[in-house]
Chain A
Amino acid sequence: MSHTPERDVIALLTAQAIAFGVMLALVVIPANALFLDAYGAKWLPATYIAIAVVGTAASALIARAARRTRLVRVATVSLFGIAVLYAASWLILAAGGAWVSAGLLVLFPIALQMGFVFLGGQAGRLLDVRQMKERFPRVVGGFSVGFLLGGLLGIPLLDLLGSTENLLLGATAAQLAFVGLLLKTERRFPEVRLAPLEAPHGAGRPPARTLFASGLVLLLLVYQVLSAMGSWLLDYLLFNRASAQYSGDELTRFLSAYTAVLNLVAILFLALLAGPLLRRFGLRVGLVLNPAVVVALLAVMAVVVAGPGAAAYGLFVLTAVARLADIVLSDGTTRTSVNASFQIVPIRDRLAVQAVVEGIGVPVAIGATGVVLLLMNLVGLGVGAVIVVAAVLSVIWTASGFAVYRTYTRALADEMRRRSLAARAGLADDDAALHALLRSDDARDVRLGLDLLPGTASLASTGALRQASEHADPEVRLRALVQLAAAGDDRAAAQTSALATVLARSADPAERCAAASALGPQRMVTNGQGMLIGLLDDADPIVRAAALDAVIPADAGELDVVSRVVAALEAPRTAGSATAAVRRLGNSAVPLLAAALAHSGASRRPPLVLAAASAATRHGIAVIEPALRDRDRVVVLAALDALAAADGAGVVPADLLKDVFDDAAAHAARALAARTALAASDGPLRRALDDESDLSRRLVVAVLTLRHGDGVREAVRVVDGTEGQRRALGVEALDVLISRDEAAVALPLVRRDLTPDEQAAALRHAGPAARGRDLWIEEMADDPDDVWRSSWVALCARHASRR
């Protein structure tokens, strides 16, 4: 969330969830009581099938509407429509139409799913993925509170209103409150409208087929279907065992007490455990905990059935525990994790996908459960068979949780790699344009044509090149001759050699550069190596860079060339070309490179370190080890970055990486702790400490990149370069790539939205004890333990102490 006050968002969503919970409780009580009274439990599976049919149709309607109009409008119309249905049901029931209770039972799970789709949809627009993980459980907790309130209100309302069906009046009022709060949320946070989700005529809107082409969305569908089937089978098992244990008023009392306990546990879990659990263990646990616990409990139930038998009181207790665990975990971790996973889906598609996944997938699952139960009853299979079926389903559900998580992490990594720039179109795919360039009178055009030519192979005609080889500009002439000679023209090769020799002695640096370019791969110049050495010694750095570009692997045996190339690494204007030349020279440059790197002070030149890193990937850590063990953290950082750029992740021993990581963590904690103790007037020293914590941040990112791949750097780039939802996705991507211990250090450093004080608090575990300003300044100025290792920090500290 980039600019909305998070607290207000949570408060409004929680209020909606409370109204939603009260409403559902005041529907489910009369619906069940009236239905069971009129038709008995044997017809319950039939209502499951009706839920599937009606739920699917309702969800399809909502998904269709969501693609065409904005969230709040869809939600308002749907929720208000349901309120009207409750009021109408009350009228029908008051007139003696008990059949409508079946409709209410069917409506209950649909209204439940719909409410969460709308709550999740709003949260998805107003909270980012990390806020969702941390705060959405509180919103769901509001639903549990509402449900508990509704249950507690049931008895006094019944006394007050006189008959069961009158509770529907309370449900209607709560539903209207839900709608009112939703509209208030829209007014307070207009960004919740963020839509229309589809252009007026459907332009640019992917069809449902495309929406579900994503592996993640499909897996989420499977996951939620299995989750719903597991939950309804557990529900059935509980009712089955409860009705075997109790009857009449005893059954009602048990169900009332059970509902109260269930909601109380759910509230406590949501308030105290769900958020920290997800923060600490992430989505992997969030998606897998619920099915794994259910599998474990079903396994114990199977043992009980196989032993004492289905009638055992222990089995009844286990069904009650399993149902409780499922509901608590479903509300506390599963629902939140699924909502967080949806954050990776583009916002314009999210509600449509969520409505289909949660709205169609779940009702279909409930219907399928009804069919399975009816069939099992028909063939006379008992509770043991239901437990086995539920256990098998739950194992698959657990596996799908792992699969969702894996796909989610991959989708996150892909999202981090996504670039806004379209793929570059080929520049030189037009023969006519290329010929026109080569035949131009303007030397700049011809140069461009010659630049494009190597990538276009046979596209340019020899005639055009011959014409260019007679151009007035000697540089153009030479470059055209080089191309002709490369194509096997012996006459052009001789002309190239003669012209290059002349141009190498020219007073014009541009012509000397052209001479260097003629030395390229074919080395078609007589005494080419002598000319190369002369150009490598040229006074003009641009000519030297051109000569470095002309260095080829065959020059590796020439010490005069190799030593000049290595020396050029240390000059800013030739470093880039020299780095590439060192790569081409291969082994022969390594001894000189190692010597240069070990030379005092020389290791501060990043191009030298970069070249050493490239050599290290082929010749081992020894070439770059001096830089990696340098006392100066800046040099260590340059070495790590260079190794990452040279694909040298496997070169650095794990213990060395660990040392660097631990040192960077401690340094960051120390710098941030010291910074918090300084006064506002200690400007230069505060800035120096900010730079030190930034250096630590870079070191941490560099180590993590070597450990976990480029995904880390891509995620950090997203965190640094974006805002709001996308930045949160970047943090989330980082979180799933690295370990918990690494995240405890890296996340506070990477998150730019934290203040230095907040970062210091988060890293306190890795740093020294707190102390006052003067003690910090004294330590930084003297650095008795050699922990700061920065003459600049020491200078700033001495400057601060004199003030």
Chain B
Amino acid sequence: MGSLGVVERVAALHRVQLFAGIPGRVLASVAECATERRFSIGEVLMEEGAVEAHLYAVVEGSVKVHRGERTLVELGPGATVGELAALVPAPRAASVTALEPTLVLRVDQTVLDELLVDWPELAHGVIAELVSRLRATSEFADQGS
């Protein structure tokens, strides 16, 4: 499978909740800077404890967010993983593993920084995404206890 063009990448980013409100002309520069990566089943996108400063936007396929064997949440196209570390670099709180052949776009902290200055709406999106992730995690924890 060939790599995505800029237009396809922007279309993919527009399907991501976080970037849905950002105009295509702005996302075009994000798309150009983004790195396209493909993961096969069982391949790890992120390792718990790793210090990194980027997020992944899932374009195709699905991933699970887990701590050890305990799955916190499963995510599919349009989801993002690793936003917190992309904003404030810190050890990853969980691992992320591909559940099927998965295509992601990697967006680095420097690009997000630029976007956040020009598009405060993105900050709202990040907060909303984090809150929903936190809710899902605590619901999961409640079910487990």
Complex contacts, A607 vs chain B, CB 8 Å: 117
Q: Which A residues lie at the B interface, using CB under 8 A?
A: 572-573, 575, 606-607, 634, 683-684, 687-688, 691, 694-695, 790-793, 795-796, 799
Contact between chains at B117 and A572 (CB < 8 Å): yes
Interface string of B24-50 (1 = CB under 8 A from A): 110010000000000000000000000
Q: What would 10 more interface pairs be, CB under 8 Å, given A606-B118, A684-B24, A691-B24?
A: A572-B116, A607-B117, A683-B11, A684-B7, A684-B11, A695-B23, A790-B25, A792-B28, A795-B7, A795-B28
Contact between chains at A694 and B23 (CB < 8 Å): yes
Q: What is the minimal beta-carbon distance from A690 to any residue of chain B, in angstroms?
A: 9
Bound-state CA distance A607–B23 (Å) is 19
Complex contacts, A688 vs chain B, CB 8 Å: 24-25
Most B Cβ at <10 Å: residue of A575, A791, A796: A796
Q: Quick one: which of B7, B14, B23 contacts A799, CB cutoff 8 A? A: B7
Q: Tell yes or no: B10 within 8 A of A by CB.
A: yes
Bound-state CA distance A606–B28 (Å) is 18
Interface string of B1-17 (1 = CB under 8 A from A): 00001110011001000
Bound-state CA distance A101–B113 (Å) is 82
Question: Can you sample 14 A-B contacts with CB below 8 Å?
Answer: A572-B113, A572-B117, A573-B113, A683-B11, A684-B7, A684-B10, A684-B24, A687-B24, A688-B24, A694-B23, A795-B6, A795-B28, A796-B24, A799-B5
Q: What is the minimal beta-carbon distance from B23 to any residue of chain A, in angstroms?
A: 4
- CB contact under 8 A between A634 and B25, given known A572-B117, A607-B117: yes
Closest chain A residue to B22 by CB distance?
A691
Q: Tell yes or no: B114 within 8 A of A by CB.
A: yes
Q: What is the minimal beta-carbon distance from A580 to any residue of chain B, in angstroms?
A: 15
Q: What is the minimal beta-carbon distance from B45 to any residue of chain A, in angstroms?
A: 26
Q: Quick one: which of A572, A790, A793 contacts B114, CB cutoff 8 A? A: A572
Chain A, interface SS category: helix
Q: What is the minimal beta-carbon distance from B88 to any residue of chain A, in angstroms?
A: 11
Bound-state CA distance A575–B116 (Å) is 12
Complex contacts, A796 vs chain B, CB 8 Å: 7, 24
Bound-state CA distance A2–B24 (Å) is 31
Q: What is the minimal beta-carbon distance from A631 to any residue of chain B, in angstroms?
A: 14
Size of the B side of the interface (Cβ < 8 Å), in residues, is 15
Closest chain A residue to B112 by CB distance?
A572
Complex contacts, A691 vs chain B, CB 8 Å: 23-25
Bound-state CA distance A607–B117 (Å) is 8
Closest chain B residue to A573 by CB distance?
B113
Closest chain A residue to B6 by CB distance?
A795
Contact between chains at A687 and B25 (CB < 8 Å): no
Bound-state CA distance A48–B37 (Å) is 86
Chain B, interface SS category: helix
Q: Which B residues lie at the A interface, using CB under 8 A?
A: 5-7, 10-11, 14, 23-25, 28, 113-114, 116-118
Which 6 A/B pairs are nearest by Cβ-Cβ distance?
A: A792-B25, A691-B23, A572-B117, A799-B7, A572-B113, A688-B24
Complex contacts, A634 vs chain B, CB 8 Å: 25
Bound-state CA distance A687–B21 (Å) is 11
Closest chain B residue to A575 by CB distance?
B117
Closest chain A residue to B115 by CB distance?
A572
Most A Cβ at <10 Å: residue of B7, B10, B11, B116: B7
Closest chain B residue to A685 by CB distance?
B7
Q: What is the minimal beta-carbon distance from A482 to any residue of chain B, in angstroms?
A: 28
Bound-state CA distance A607–B116 (Å) is 12
Complex contacts, A572 vs chain B, CB 8 Å: 113-114, 116-117
Complex contacts, B5 vs chain A, CB 8 Å: 799
Most B Cβ at <10 Å: residue of A573, A792, A796: A792
Complex contacts, B118 vs chain A, CB 8 Å: 606
Bound-state CA distance A792–B30 (Å) is 13
Bound-state CA distance A688–B31 (Å) is 15
Complex contacts, A694 vs chain B, CB 8 Å: 23
Q: What is the minimal beta-carbon distance from A539 to any residue of chain B, in angstroms?
A: 14
Bound-state CA distance A166–B5 (Å) is 84
Q: What is the minimal beta-carbon distance from A641 to any residue of chain B, in angstroms?
A: 12
Complex contacts, B11 vs chain A, CB 8 Å: 683-684, 687
Most A Cβ at <10 Å: residue of B24, B28, B116: B24
Closest chain B residue to A695 by CB distance?
B23
Complex contacts, B116 vs chain A, CB 8 Å: 572
Bound-state CA distance A683–B12 (Å) is 11
Closest chain B residue to A604 by CB distance?
B118
Bound-state CA distance A792–B6 (Å) is 10
Q: What is the minimal beta-carbon distance from B124 to any residue of chain A, in angstroms?
A: 13
Q: What is the minimal beta-carbon distance from B137 to any residue of chain A, in angstroms?
A: 26
Bound-state CA distance A796–B14 (Å) is 14
Most A Cβ at <10 Å: residue of B6, B113, B114, B117: B117
